[in-house]
Amino acid sequence: MLKPYRLFDAVKFQSEKFPKQEMLVSKVNGEWKPYSTQDVSTITNKFSAGLLQLGVSGNDYTPEGADKIAIISNNRPEWVFTDIAVQQTGAILVPIYPTCSVQELQFILNDAAVKYLFVSSEELLLKARSISHDVPSLRNIFTFDETPQADHWTKVMDGATPELLQQVEKVKAEIDWEHLATIIYTSGTTGQPKGVMLTHRNIISNVFFSKESFPFEDAPESKVLSFLPLNHIFEKTCTYIYLYSGISIYYAESMEKIADNLREIKPDGFTTVPRLLEKVFEKIMSKGNELTGLKRKLFFWSVSLAGKYDVKKDHGAWYNFKLRIANKLVFSKWREALGGRITFIVTGGAACNEKLLRIFNAAQIPVYEGYGPTENSPVISVNRKKPLGDRYFGTTGPAITGIEVKLAEDGEILVKGPTVMKGYYKRPDLTAETVIDGWLHTGDIGVWIDQKFLKITDRKKELFKTSGGKYVAPQPIENKMKESPFVEQIMVVGNERKFVGALIVPSFTMLKQWMPQNGLTFTTNEAAIREPKVLEMFKEVVESFNNYFNHVEQIKRFELMPREWSIETGEMTPKLSLKRKIVMEKYKDAIERIYDVHP
């Protein structure tokens, strides 16, 4: 029976079961600075008391009545302090991506009527201040970094008194697990962002169902590295899984320092998204291409061998013997680069390349794919660490314990249970369209493999129909094409067109190595993608992968793009998913060139 914990009970839970000296750890002035369980308890209670002093409260404990506190920050202990402290007052945390536009920021702050805002840096302070005059509800902005331009977050704690600390305990006791814990605004690829309302019960249910299903055992000696944005429910839920499991959380200094931090702290695991795994693999392959002679042959023999690995199939003694050799001579170096102690990597947010899953798992770097939307707090399904039979490459695993999952007639994934959101903030119309008779309509299309493993085939809204009336699901085509080391990113197009086309961002790292080997000189990205030999090579790559698809789904023509799509340039969401409508609008001229001449 699930106990009615609130998220903030994680501190007391850990204090009673496995008090730690290193509950949350970040790097300060070049040194790792730990906060113990007791430190976190003291800080968050004083922080809550200071918020009460500022007049923050849950008021009538309704979504509309409770105060809203926003946070825009990189991952760091202060993020979690703020989250817990706000919860303990009955107020509601509104996390915002640091990369969001000023227009989105202004919309969210006004839509939620945010009272106070906490930002990590002076840069984000200036961004918030640029629109603060248009946010009448906003009373003050505090920073985590020291700056003379604003009040430091510790100034809030200075307002704590013994009386207010007693008041915090009274308020905490009144907060029900059905109370709203957070409003997470999902990235608005079309129209304005939507505020997903999640209660303590929603997230806590997902925490303990996921903890049981994966499983995450209580592991006070374990540690993880956190770098996926805490603004996203995936990393936030995982944070509370770690806290309720006694696992120490270390925060990466930055995305650029992840590799260094992995080697320093030697974590047992981390969560990621497929795009980051792809980048890790690209770097590995790039280094492999620099090898010569026997070392080069051994490297590519090992990678080819790993590409055939299947956790559900025994390839026999000879294959296993060869794989042991590959692991000892080649893959051991990969594991060392990740700290040498990885027992799990959980990936979500988008479909993971199946070939990558095979290779990493064969290299004894266990990668487990899972799936779930913000509206489900988020996990719906995940491949299992134990038992080993509950894993299937190319699927997102079995549904987690405690929820119901079924497929609609059109294949849409529907989910029901205590993890399903309360609704969209101020949007009962959208809530009614999305949650029908208790079933969350995810908008994702899936199939069951072996009647147990959920495989996501596409987004319902991303399916398109050619002018010949045939439906095409772009995601499986894109995922397969990305198995080529020369394809960095790809977007399949063809809605209401005579045939399927594609925009392809080449791997320029691979091109820089391939071109000299084929009598060409690499100068610029733009020049490379116009080179006839390069175009011919990509045509061969596309045609080789077309064999996996029926005639209607095959890519007939493509355009090579000179630049990688990114969050900064607007084509990717903060969780590194493709904004298809943005790409189609931004590169409409390139798409038109695809259809200028019938192949």
Q: Would you state the structure tokens that stand for residue 90, as one six-digit string?
A: 């009955």
User: 312-347: per-residue pLDDT in tens?
Assistant: 999 999 999 999 999 999 999 999 999 999 999 999
What integer pLDDT is reported at residue 351 of this predicted model? 83
> Is residue 398 situated within a structural domain?
no
CATH code for the domain of 562: 3.30.300.30
24: which residues sit within 8 A by CB, 6+ positions away? 34, 35, 40, 77, 80, 248, 249, 251
Q: Would you state the structure tokens that stand for residue 153, as one six-digit string?
A: 């977050």
What integer pLDDT is reported at residue 2 of this predicted model? 85
Distances from the Cα of 368 to the Cαs of 310, 343, 354, 391, in angstroms? 13, 10, 11, 8
> Is residue 4 situated within a structural domain?
no
Closest CA to 579 of 187, 92, 164: 187
Tell how strand 500-506 and strand 555-560 pair up. parallel
Decide which of 255, 284, 319 is a domain's last residue. Answer: 255
What integer pLDDT is reported at residue 350 of this predicted model? 82
What integer pLDDT is reported at residue 169 of this predicted model? 98
Distances from the Cα of 390 to the Cαs of 314, 381, 395, 451, in angstroms? 15, 11, 11, 12
How far, in Å, CA of 32 to CA of 223, rounded?
A: 13
* Residues 296-300: contacts with CB under 8 Å, at least 24 apart: 298/329, 298/330, 299/330
> Is residue 325 situated within a structural domain?
no
User: 87-143: per-residue pLDDT in tens?
Assistant: 999 999 999 999 888 989 999 999 999 999 999 999 999 999 999 999 999 999 999
What integer pLDDT is reported at residue 597 of this predicted model? 65
- Count other C-beta atoms under 10 Å from residue 218's C-beta: 13
Count of structural domains, the chain: 2
> Is residue 460 situated within a structural domain?
no
What integer pLDDT is reported at residue 191 of this predicted model? 65
User: If you write DSSP's letter for every residue of 473-488 in order, what string do you get?
Assistant: -HHHHHHHHTTSTTEE
pLDDT (mean) for 133-161:
97
Tell how strand 381-382 and strand 367-371 pair up. antiparallel
What integer pLDDT is reported at residue 599 of this predicted model? 44
How high does pLDDT run on average in the chain?
Answer: 94
Per the listing, tokens 């839920």 go with 237
User: If you write DSSP's letter for every residue of 543-596 in order, what string do you get?
Assistant: HHHHTTS-GGGSEEEEEE-SS---TTTTSB-TTS-B-HHHHHHHTHHHHHHHTT
- Residues paired with 559 in a beta bridge: 503
CATH code for the domain of 55: 3.40.50.12780
User: If you write DSSP's letter for every residue of 362-395 in order, what string do you get?
Assistant: HTT--EEEEE--GGGSS-SEE--SSSGGG--TTS
User: 251-265: per-residue pLDDT in tens?
Assistant: 999 999 999 999 999
- Residues paired with 447 in a beta bridge: 455
Closest CA to 185 of 170, 197, 172, 200: 197
What integer pLDDT is reported at residue 473 of this predicted model? 86
pLDDT (mean) for 218-239:
96
Q: Would you state the structure tokens that stand for residue 299, as one six-digit string?
A: 């490297």
> Is residue 192 situated within a structural domain?
no
Decide which of 255, 277, 306 is a domain's last residue. Answer: 255
- pTM of structure: 0.87
User: 360-385: per-residue pLDDT in tens?
Assistant: 999 999 999 999 999 999 999 999 99
CB 82 within 8 A of CB 56: no
> Is residue 424 situated within a structural domain?
no
How far, in Å, CA of 397 to CA of 376, rounded?
A: 16
Q: Above 50 in pLDDT, residue 189? A: no
User: 478-492: per-residue pLDDT in tens?
Assistant: 989 999 999 999 999
Q: Above 90 in pLDDT, residue 457? A: no
Name the percent of the chain lying above pLDDT 90. 86
How far, in Å, CA of 536 to CA of 452, rounded?
A: 42
Cis peptide leading into residue 378 (ω within 30°): yes
Tell how strand 464-465 and strand 471-472 pair up. antiparallel
Query: Which residues constitute the domain of residue 534?
Result: 465-594
How far, in Å, CA of 453 to CA of 456, rounded?
A: 10
Decide which of 222, 255, 288 is a domain's last residue. Answer: 255
Q: Would you state the structure tokens that stand for residue 452, as one six-digit string?
A: 């147990």
> Is residue 340 situated within a structural domain?
no
CA 54 to chain centre: 34
435: which residues sit within 8 A by CB, 6+ positions away? 420, 421, 423, 441
CA 476-481-483 angle, 5° bins: 105
pLDDT (mean) for 530-545:
96
Q: Above 90 in pLDDT, residue 575? A: no
> Is residue 343 situated within a structural domain?
no
What integer pLDDT is reported at residue 460 of this predicted model? 83
